[in-house]
Amino acid sequence: MKVIVISNPEEIVGETKTVIRLFEAGLERFHLRKPKYSTHALRSYLDQIPAAYRNRIVIHSHHDLSVPYSLAGIHVTEQHRKKKYWKTWLTRKYLKLRRPDLTITAGFHTLGSLKSQNPVYEYVFLSPVFESISKIGYRSTFNEDSLVKMIEKSSYKVIALGGVDEDKIEKTLELGFHGVALLGSIWKSNDPLEKFKRIHQLCNSSVAM
Handedness of CA 57, 128, 180, 81 (dihedral sign): negative
- Angstrom distance (rounded) from CA 107 to CA 113: 9
pLDDT band at residue 122 using 50, 70 and 90 as cut-offs: very high
User: 3-state DSSP call for residue 76?
Assistant: strand
pLDDT of residue 137: 61
Range from 67-81, 103-117, 154-168 that averages highest in pLDDT:
154-168
For residue 89, is pLDDT > 70? no
Helix/strand/coil for 111: helix
Contact 28, 51 (CB under 8 A): no
pLDDT band at residue 82 using 50, 70 and 90 as cut-offs: low
Above 60 in pLDDT, residue 180? Answer: yes
Summarised one tens digit per residue, pLDDT across range 136-178 is: 666 677 889 999 999 999 999 999 999 999 999 999 999 999 9
82, exposed or middle or buried, with CB in 10 Å at 0-12, 13-18, 19+? exposed
Spell out the alpha helix ranges (H) of 1-84: 15-24, 39-47, 78-83
Residue 83 banded pLDDT, cuts 50, 70, 90: low
Task: List 59's β-bridge partners, or say none.
Answer: 32, 74
| Structural contact between residues 126 and 144, judged by C-beta atoms closer than 8 angstroms | no
Q: Select from 40, 95, 97 the least CA-distant residue to 73.
A: 95
Global pTM exceeds 0.75: yes
